[in-house]
Chain A
Amino acid sequence: MTLYDYNTCVDQHADDVYRFILKNMKDADKAKDIVQDTFEKLWVKAETVRVEKSRSYIFTTAYHTMIDYLRREKRDLDYSATKEIETQAPHECIDLQDILEEGLGKLPEIQRSVLLLRDYEGYSYREIGEICRLTEPQVKVYIYRARLALKKYIGSLETVI
């Protein structure tokens, strides 16, 4: 990857990876730090990362950097647990996207990540599996669980509202 390729990657993917991390962490400053770390790592590995794999490399690196951040903060990272997300209606949620955002924030981290990669970035199950180090069936299950949980969340809120 040349200097030009690297800068092109910044132009093409910086916003996407920032959104992905921001939606996961809900902290703009930390998201910026992770994006910065990610691109620094890409630059260090620029000679070995192929251009066609750069997007996947960026998201993989960003995801695992985020995991490291979260682990350091001792946040709840129970990947396997299927959580029933709370359905208490927040007063400020009046728009469907707001409700979705709220529900998304209540998902377990792994479900949130695979769903964001799927919906925001359009990654295939296989690609998401590579990024999150999961099997394709696992990805499928997490997406399924996430959508089911979000549907429940939306439905319950609609009932409340």
Chain B
Amino acid sequence: MNMVMNTDNYELYFLDYAEGNLSPARERELFAFLENHPEYREEFDAFVNVQMPPFTDPEKRISHSLKMDPAGREASSLPFGLLCISYLEGDLEPEDRAAFERHLKQDPAAEKTLDAFRKTKLVADPSLVYANREALKKYPRKNLRPLFSTRNIAVAATLAILASVSWLLLFQVTGGTDRPRPVQHIASRGHTESINIPPRETQITPRQSDIKITLPAPVRNTDHLASMPPLRQVRIPKPPGGEPRSFFLLRFETERRVYAQNLPLEKEYYTQSPGKERKSAAGRVLAKIGNQIKDLFSPTREILDNNDNPVFWNIAQTGVNSFNLLTDHHYEIVRYLDEKGRTKQVKLVDNSVGMEITNAE
């Protein structure tokens, strides 16, 4: 027994004392307790008012417990009650248990008392259940995105590009003669390349397939671009951590100010207005559009920067057409070449809002 005697466990001390199991030190502790708590003296006497026999025999031990209840077992004296409870709880040693059961057969009153204790066994009510158990459960979080998020649009555009590329490759392999005619000639510094764009409402019918894809051409009004002054060099602040290798420049002019936004490969976008940098409503709109374009070109941006293959630009323009179809924009690709025919600069122009996006010159 590793504990200190107190009002929570005094019965165990009383019982052990009555059965002669207390060590001298524990006995001293018990009597000190009784001195401090005289109110328990009467209860203690109920345990020990019978002379202690040596309890080596289980039969005698059980009998002694019974004898300690001289007023009758119906009154549930502490020792006999403890014996009954110990029996019901399965705490009795096998020989004590057997002796107790033998005694019960001979003593109907003891059996009745035991039965009274047996009735105190609580039985759980299975009809009591937690009503909303499912609400306690946890489930993996799902990334909910708005249906028309930038990412969704970009994915849709990418799918459209793939479909368009499939058509384009099929078209070229079969050597069709009704290729989209060049529709755009934009003069700028140096040389300007014509870009093949499917004409308005052109219906394309692959020869070896039943697939029909209709790509309405974007509304093109590029007259003002012809008179547009040469692109001026826009100062791009050096981002922290070094100069980006390549980037797009988003430039948006209003009557009062010019918004410029660089789209470095690894850096976050920011909006710059003359004299100060800050996020404006227009800047946020531009950032969103820039993100769309960036997403659109992300898989091919490196190629976009360096590729001089006209077929590639046809594919790119077809992708942009698909993007326009999905997002109701009117972007067009304008590519500036140097004297040797290499890509010098690329602009993505949306005539409807007077916006253009260029890569680095």
Using A35-B136, A137-B3, A144-B82 as known contacts, say yes or no to A18 and B128 having CB atoms under 8 A apart: yes
Question: In residues 4-49 of chain A, which contact B (Cβ within 8 Å)?
Answer: 6-7, 10-11, 14-19, 22, 32, 35-36, 39, 43
Using A14-B130, A119-B122 as known contacts, say yes or no to A137 and B12 having CB atoms under 8 A apart: yes
A104 interface neighbour in B8, B117, B122, B133, Cβ under 8 Å: B122
Does B124 contact A120, Cβ atoms closer than 8 Å? yes
Cα-based distance from A154 to B82 in the complex (angstroms): 17
Cα-based distance from A7 to B91 in the complex (angstroms): 36
Cα-based distance from A82 to B11 in the complex (angstroms): 12
Q: Total interface residues on A, using CB and 8 Å?
A: 45
Return chain B residues, CB-CB under 8 Å to A146.
120
Return chain A residues, CB-CB under 8 Å to B123.
97, 119
A100 CB within 8 Å of chain B: yes
Return chain B residues, CB-CB under 8 Å to A7.
137-138
B224 CB within 8 Å of chain A: no
Closest CB-CB distance, B65 to chain A, in whole Å? 14
B129 interface neighbour in A3, A18, A148, Cβ under 8 Å: A18
A150 CB within 8 Å of chain B: yes
Return chain A residues, CB-CB under 8 Å to B85.
143-144, 147-148
Cα-based distance from A147 to B130 in the complex (angstroms): 28
Does B119 contact A115, Cβ atoms closer than 8 Å? no
Return chain A residues, CB-CB under 8 Å to B7.
80, 82
Return chain B residues, CB-CB under 8 Å to A80.
6-8
Return chain A residues, CB-CB under 8 Å to B3.
135, 137-138
Return chain A residues, CB-CB under 8 Å to B122.
100, 104, 115-116, 119-120
Return chain A residues, CB-CB under 8 Å to B176.
none
Q: Total interface residues on B, using CB and 8 Å?
A: 38
A140 CB within 8 Å of chain B: yes
Using A10-B136, A19-B124, A96-B119 as known contacts, say yes or no to A140 and B12 having CB atoms under 8 A apart: yes
Closest CB-CB distance, B169 to chain A, in whole Å? 46
Return chain A residues, CB-CB under 8 Å to B136.
10, 14, 35-36, 39
Return chain B residues, CB-CB under 8 Å to A15.
128-130, 133
A77 CB within 8 Å of chain B: no
A78-91 interface mask toward B, CB cutoff 8 Å, 1 = contact, 0 = none?
Answer: 01101000000000
Closest CB-CB distance, A95 to chain B, in whole Å? 11
Return chain A residues, CB-CB under 8 Å to B124.
16, 19, 119-120
B266 CB within 8 Å of chain A: no
Cα-based distance from A120 to B136 in the complex (angstroms): 22
B117 interface neighbour in A79, A100, A135, A151, Cβ under 8 Å: A151
Does B120 contact A100, Cβ atoms closer than 8 Å? yes
B218 CB within 8 Å of chain A: no
Cα-based distance from A42 to B122 in the complex (angstroms): 28
Closest CB-CB distance, A112 to chain B, in whole Å? 10
Does B81 contact A144, Cβ atoms closer than 8 Å? yes
B177 CB within 8 Å of chain A: no
Question: In residues 128-161 of chain A, which contact B (Cβ within 8 Å)?
Answer: 135, 137-138, 140-144, 146-148, 150-152, 154-155
Of all A-B residue pairs in the complex, the 4 with the closest CB atoms, nearest first, are A119-B122, A18-B130, A150-B120, A14-B130
Cβ contacts A to B, 12 pairs, < 8 Å: A3-B139, A3-B140, A7-B138, A10-B136, A14-B136, A15-B128, A16-B124, A22-B128, A118-B89, A142-B8, A143-B85, A151-B81
Q: Which B residues contact A (CB, under 8 angstroms)?
A: 1-3, 6-9, 11-12, 76, 78, 81-82, 85, 88-89, 91, 116-117, 119-125, 128-133, 135-140
Q: Which A residues contact B (CB, under 8 angstroms)?
A: 3, 6-7, 10-11, 14-19, 22, 32, 35-36, 39, 43, 79-80, 82, 96-97, 100, 104, 115-116, 118-120, 135, 137-138, 140-144, 146-148, 150-152, 154-155
Using A19-B125, A36-B135 as known contacts, list a sample of 12 further A-B pairs with CB atoms less than 8 Å apart, ordered by residue number in A: A3-B139, A3-B140, A6-B138, A15-B129, A15-B130, A18-B130, A80-B8, A104-B122, A140-B12, A141-B9, A151-B120, A154-B120
